[in-house]
Structure 1
Amino acid sequence: MVVFAGDGRHRVAVLARDGVLLFELSIVHRLFGQARTPDGDALYTVVTCALVPGDVRTDADFTITVEHGPEALAEADTVLVPGSAADHEPRAGYLDPALAAALAGLRPRTRIAAICTGSFVLAAAGLLTGRRAATHWRSSAAARERFPDVDFDLGVLYAEDGGVLTSAGAAAGIDLCLHMIRSDHGAAVANEVARGTVVPPHREGGQAQYLDRPLPDPRISSTGRAREWALANLHRPVALREMAAQESTSTRTFTRRFREEIGTSPGRWLVQQRVQRARALLERTDLPIDEVAVSAGFGTAGSMRLHLQAELGVSPSAYRSTFRGRERASR
């Protein structure tokens, strides 16, 4: 059976296992399916596959019919494994021989990703051994017990290590998919997909902010005013005391509240916002690198280069060459 058409698009295969979580399955189609060039051409082809084509039980009160078999995995450029209700069963750490064979048949350069407890599959297949990974915080204890050779990080929404990507809870699958689209085609395309889905293009902090814990005192103000002020002043140095002053509180109290609300430190958050600003300017404008650095608040091209290298693994000029050039070519 021909699974993918020869259209030159990036091929994404989503594996629907018995008990597949419908939300996680659908967001892959929704997000990658919306990614388009400025001329409206689709950038991805997405298909759903199963180990055995036919009816597949879901976590809802109905089944879905899947036409494609494991051959889709062998042809894909990206393979995504959503979570399943079966991942919470006692034998979830064991890999079905048919699934093991299907994963073993992936091409060497295939990008592999899992949403939520789909990470259990990748871990059982040995794809996460010695790597940093994410999974739902409620499943973290079971994950660490079953797979002690995997570095499960409870503090992130998604993780990427050695070409293998994993996300935390179901909604973090949205963050993961946007991250992959952003890596493939730049922030402008990912932002447009996020806008069409009515979700933030980049969520702040990690999943620590979603842990079950006592609610903060409702009389305590949020850090929203400070963040709004910081974004309006991102082009210049922003001091912690200035952000705290927007909320009329001490720097110590502000930092604690910021971590509680956003899941990261004010300094780390500022760097993330500056990187996002720099990416947008590199993609959408012809501003010299020095001016981009100033507009994004890095001050100098050297400082921006260090931060982009740390966050994205590329220099500003290399990023612009990849994504600004790609945007022009698609017009």
Structure 2
Amino acid sequence: MMPTLRVGLLLVPGCMPSGLFAVADILHAANLRCGRELFKTVWVAESREPVVCAHGVTLTPEQTLAEAACDAVLVPDFWAYTIKQVWRVLDANAALAATLARLPAHVALGSYCTGVALLARAGRLDGAAATTTWWLADAMRERFGDVDWQFHHNALFTPTLATATGANGHLAIVRAFVERHCGAQVFQDIRQWMVLPRPSHTLPVFQGLQLLFQQQPLLRRLQLEVERLPAREATVERVASLLATSPRTLSRRVKEGTGESVASQVRLVKMNQVSERLLLTGDSVGRISDALGFSDESSLRRAFRQLTGYTPKQYRQAFKS
């Protein structure tokens, strides 16, 4: 009989604890489904002091991470809109990263979205394949060069390591964990009981678009204007005019908010529209090109493959439900 696995739910200052609570509920459901306690969740932190999470929610750990003797630890994501904010969180949690680094090699570690940066800071991803939220890609590749970053994957797993993209990446991680220890049918039953969402069928490059733009008013306005414009007319100058600002000011503010150029963000918005139409309609690429105002179909195909690594046909085949 499999011994009970201790799963540490790591409280990090400023973290979004919703993913931790969701994992606790799913593991509890797995225990009920299997008729015995396969998983015991333990709330852990760097110290026993209460931890202030996102939105001012304060949670008190049961044990410290060092003393909990966990078989697995889940590192949550945290609020960050810029790379600088991510680095500040890492600097503020240097002691926690050091504790993660000292955990025994057999302890399974999982994280998602911005939380992956903490595992990278701890050195636990060195030499391993890992992924994280798309907008962190360039910065993570530059700062943590010993990691085999594979940002085209939504989730990557080994027996002792799991990383996933997006704020809901905990679902992919807990699914793999439950299936490994209980079997696929157990998780299927849990998904039906709890009405869990189906896995996301899209690329990481598009997953963070809505969250990023919703959190920054200028980017949200940029998105709306670009979506209305025909692709061939969506120049930096035209977009700046519609936003009542200068191209220079727009370029500076977009660079500060995303680390990317205006042209890159415009291209991302138009390619996201292409992605949605490929997955939600049966329209031909030519019809999509005409509807979105591209100068020609070949321009759309070239831009889409450059951004995603897929031709439109390959993308539709790979991700359409």
The TM-score range, normalised by the shorter chain, is 0.5 to 0.7
1:44-123 map, 5 Å:
44-73=39-68, 75-85=69-79, 88-94=85-91, 96=93, 98-123=95-120
Deviation at 1:182?
1.5
Deviation at 1:263?
11
Q: Is the 8 A contact 1:14 1:81 kept in 2?
A: yes
Cα 1:95/1:158, change in 2 over 3 Å: farther
1:216 maps to which of 267, 273, 286: 273
State the one-letter code of the partner of 1:99.
L
Q: Is the 8 A contact 1:207 1:263 kept in 2?
A: no
- Larger deviation, residues 168-177 vs 29-38: 29-38
Structure 2 unaligned spans of 5+: 210-268, 289-300
Deviation at 1:100?
4.1
Deviation at 1:221?
6.5
Aligned mates of 1:263, 1:191 — CA distance in 2 = 30
Cα 1:179/1:201, change in 2 over 3 Å: farther
1:128-147 map, 5 Å:
128-147=125-144
Deviation at 1:140?
2.3
- Larger deviation, residues 105-114 vs 207-216: 207-216
Q: Does 2:56 align with 1:27?
A: no
Q: Is the 8 A contact 1:55 1:65 kept in 2?
A: yes
Deviation at 1:192?
1.9
Residue 234 of structure 1 corresponds to which residue in structure 2? none
State the one-letter code of the partner of 2:58.
T
Q: Does 2:164 align with 1:167?
A: yes
Q: Does 2:38 align with 1:43?
A: yes
State the one-letter code of the partner of 1:59.
A
Q: Is the 8 A contact 2:72 2:108 kept in 1?
A: yes
Q: Is the 8 A contact 2:98 2:122 kept in 1?
A: no
Residue 148 of structure 2 corresponds to which residue in structure 1? 151
- Larger deviation, residues 144-153 vs 125-134: 144-153
Structure 1 unaligned spans of 5+: 1-6, 226-246, 274-331
2:13 maps to which of 12, 15, 18: 18
* Aligned CA-pair RMSD: 3.8
Q: Does 2:181 align with 1:184?
A: yes
Q: Is the 8 A contact 1:204 1:269 kept in 2?
A: yes
Residue 247 of structure 2 corresponds to which residue in structure 1? none
Equivalenced residues, count? 241
Q: Is the 8 A contact 1:117 1:136 kept in 2?
A: yes
Deviation at 1:187?
1.1
Residue 9 of structure 1 corresponds to which residue in structure 2? 4
Aligned mates of 2:195, 2:287 — CA distance in 1 = 34
Deviation at 1:181?
1.2
Aligned mates of 2:176, 2:141 — CA distance in 1 = 25
Cα 1:28/1:39, change in 2 over 3 Å: closer
Cα 1:207/1:79, change in 2 over 3 Å: same
- Larger deviation, residues 24-33 vs 9-18: 24-33
Aligned mates of 2:283, 2:93 — CA distance in 1 = 57
Cα 1:58/1:93, change in 2 over 3 Å: closer
3-state SS of the aligned residue for 1:179? helix
3-state SS of the aligned residue for 1:66? coil
Q: Is the 8 A contact 2:133 2:208 kept in 1?
A: no
Cα 1:157/1:197, change in 2 over 3 Å: farther
Aligned mates of 2:140, 2:313 — CA distance in 1 = 22
3-state SS of the aligned residue for 1:35? helix
Aligned mates of 1:20, 1:180 — CA distance in 2 = 22
Q: Is the 8 A contact 1:156 1:208 kept in 2?
A: no
Deviations 1:91-126 (A, max 9, x none): 445485532442244233111111211111111111
- Larger deviation, residues 12-21 vs 155-164: 155-164
Q: Which has the higher helix share?
A: 2
Cα 1:268/1:92, change in 2 over 3 Å: same
TM-score (norm 1): 0.60
Aligned mates of 2:202, 2:129 — CA distance in 1 = 17
